[in-house]
A and B are shown apart, each in its own frame.
Chain A
Amino acid sequence: MISMFEPDAKGHFGNYGGRFVPETLMAPLQELETAYRHFQRSPEMQGAFRSALAHYVGRPSPLYEARRLSEYAGGARILLKREDLLHTGAHKINNAVGQALLAKSMGKTRLIAETGAGQHGVATSTVAAWLGMECCIFMGTRDIERQKVNVYRMRLLGAQVIPVTSGSATLKDAMNEAMRDWVTQIDHTYYLVGTVAGPHPYPEMVRNFQSVIGEEVRDQSQIMPLGHPDAMVACIGGGSNAIGLFYPFLETKAVALYGVEAAGEGIESQRHAASIAMGRSGVLHGNRTYLLQTEGGQIIETHSISAGLDYPGVGPEHAWLHDVGRVHYVSIDDEEALASFHRLTRLEGIMPALESAHALAYAERLAADMAPHQTLVVNLSGRGDKDITTVSTREGLEL
């Protein structure tokens, strides 16, 4: 559809992406690619996906003008793309529904996934229940500890949650363990990757499933003075909500695009998750991208108040969009995100996920430098209920 922004036949976005996996996974990835190309061309499969988005997920999601927040920021009109209103409370469900339909069409009976904050785990458990498939979620023991409610949600949905104790016991290790499980049970298992990372075709496929976000914004912004927003902001862990919003606008150069990484305790602190700002190109989890790593190429532990952004890499397409300068990558620390979490809750009665609060924090700053007739769209990628324990603990309250 937009040729300049498509990967090459081997899944490379510029120098990034590709397929760096053990030989055992090469043929299954080719099989997946073939099945996905069929899915893309099949009116029947596309129809099933669109219908599920409308009737199961609850799309389209509103584009809501946050007047009190705009007034507070003092500049551009801020509009929120309300992915938090979707079934299960975050954008993750768009991709989960798409890939689950694909998995079913391939004759797979078991879904596996990695999860950090638990949102992708919940989305995958949900679609597994919806389609009557077996489900196994890999989650680091440290994340299990800080996201107990989501762990219970997954179990209620019938998923088996497998604690991962290897390495740093967080999202990257859960992804390692999911890949190991996939290799072992490849015949009937489908690996439902939650973000725009991993070996080809995952980054392209997940982007395409998520690009419904940006397509809706394009339709919803027809009434704006320019027919599109002046700027858009989204948070970046792996980067699926951001690419979903940005992709349909990549060729519309008049739209300024901002991806917000997690600066954790500060970008100079060593305790952050800002892979583009502070990382170097390398190979992890099947693709080449920007990674937080030691000089010797060992992957390092990251930190963010938001478990969903706590990942040492970033989707390869983002790495490339950074290099070519189409998207500006910036960062927001824990304190700034937390302040925006409270601000949106109090000013608009909308409690954002801590991930999305990173995007909001940057948007407030950006809006202040823009004119009142200009518009700025923020991807409110998820709702904040899952984070209230993190917030209360941080503020010294035991619930």
Chain B
Amino acid sequence: MNRITKRLQETRSAGRAALVPYLMAGDPGIASTARAMHALVEGGADLIELGMPFSDPIADGPVIQAAAGRALSRGVSLDTVLDILVEFRIHDSSTPVLLMGYLNPIEQMGWRRFVDASVDAGADGLLLVDLPPEEAEEMYPYMQNCDLLPISLVAPTTDENRLRLIAGVARGFIYYIAVKGITGAAHDFDMNQLQSRIEWIRRHVDIPIGIGFGVRNADIAAQCARVADLVIVGSALVELLASQKDETVVLQTAQNWISELSLVMGRE
């Protein structure tokens, strides 16, 4: 069974939401990324989202843009991302890893080649922000055959027709974008509205639903955990990881923060 599916069954049985931290491959450094991933798991991460840097990330706010820029200036390529994953898998064969990025670098590598290599490296899902289902008619079925789950986005602007289309192709879980905006947006969560959107999505899909974009502190994470099956934290963690030079201190701080989120989200 795919690690994402398996893990989400476990968290559902435990009656809690899965905690999903996002970090950018190659930031704070190429050598430290796999160690950071282990620290996040140690802190209570159920699934890890590993960002693949792109020069023109239109869905990302300043924090993740800057992280992508730093990663690229360190020479991070798709091969580097997969090497990091291979390194992570040496010591962790159970935590699911979802790759997240933009289509162009993957097209340049050849998307079939990339999908095959990702599976070999130990990836469990792939989320391409700028690849809507309409443009993925060949790629999604190929990914499914390889057991690399195509994770789909649903937005506040998504209407009923589009949700049906997305429901038909989405696997693993639905990634609900909590805000009309970009990653790391500072905005007020209207929990009632969010809850009714999640309930609306649940009427159309039978896979778990995650909430991401703007989940920047423990309080918001705890609220999201009450209505969704996964809670995704990105910019706040990326900022934290970039905040200090000393790797040991940074990783410990990140781990502590994830533990704090994990606690307020109801882990026993």
Contacts and interface: CB of A to CB of B under 8 A. Distances in A.
Contacts of A295: 108
Nearest to A168: B55
B107 A297 contact: yes
Contact of A282 (B57, B59, B107, B156): B107
Sorting the interface of chain B by its residue count into under 10, 10 to 19, 20 to 34 or 35 or more gives: 35 or more
Contacts of B65: 166-167
Nearest to A281: B107
A291 B154 CA distance: 29
Nearest to B177: A24
Contacts of A286: 130
Nearest to B105: A297
A280 B166 CA distance: 30
Given A20-B131, A167-B55, A296 B153 contact: no
A298 B54 contact: yes
Interface in A251-310: 280-286, 291, 293, 295-299
Max chain B CB contacts within 10 Å: which of A280, A285, A298? A298
A4 interface: no
Contacts of A283: 102-104, 107, 130
A173 B62 CA distance: 12
Interface stretch (B142-150, B180-188, B219-227, B236-244): B180-188
Interface stretch (B34-42, B157-165, B203-211, B250-258): B157-165
A19 interface: yes
A172 B56 contact: yes
B101 to A, nearest CB: 10
Nearest to B62: A166
Contacts of B181: 24, 183-184
Max chain A CB contacts within 10 Å: which of B57, B155, B156, B166? B155
A1 interface: no
Contacts of B134: 10, 19
Given A10-B134, A296-B78, A23 B153 contact: yes
A166 B131 CA distance: 23
B131 to A, nearest CB: 6
Given A23-B155, A24-B180, A296 B108 contact: yes
B58 interface: yes
Interface in A182-228: 183-187
A398 B114 CA distance: 53
A187 B77 CA distance: 37
Contacts of A21: 58, 130, 132
Given A22-B129, A23-B132, A280-B108, A186 B56 contact: no
B77 to A, nearest CB: 5
Nearest to A298: B55
Nearest to B132: A26
Contacts of B103: 20, 283
Contacts of B55: 167, 298-299
B12 to A, nearest CB: 24
B266 to A, nearest CB: 29
B106 interface: yes
A280 B110 CA distance: 13
B155 A284 contact: no
Nearest to B78: A296
A297 B180 contact: no
A22 B131 CA distance: 7
A22 B60 CA distance: 10
B182 A23 contact: no
A22 B135 contact: no
Nearest to A27: B157
A158 interface: no
A176 interface: yes
B109 interface: yes
9 contacts: A18-B135, A23-B154, A23-B155, A27-B155, A167-B56, A180-B182, A183-B180, A183-B182, A284-B104
Interface of B: 54-59, 61-62, 65, 69, 72, 77-78, 102-109, 129-132, 134-135, 152-159, 162, 166, 177, 180-182, 185
10 closest Cβ pairs, A-B complex: A297-B108, A297-B105, A24-B155, A23-B153, A184-B181, A298-B55, A22-B59, A23-B155, A27-B157, A297-B104
Given A24-B156, A283-B102, 20 more contacts: A10-B134, A10-B135, A20-B103, A21-B58, A22-B129, A22-B153, A22-B155, A23-B152, A23-B157, A24-B177, A24-B181, A27-B155, A167-B69, A179-B58, A183-B181, A280-B108, A282-B108, A295-B108, A296-B78, A297-B109
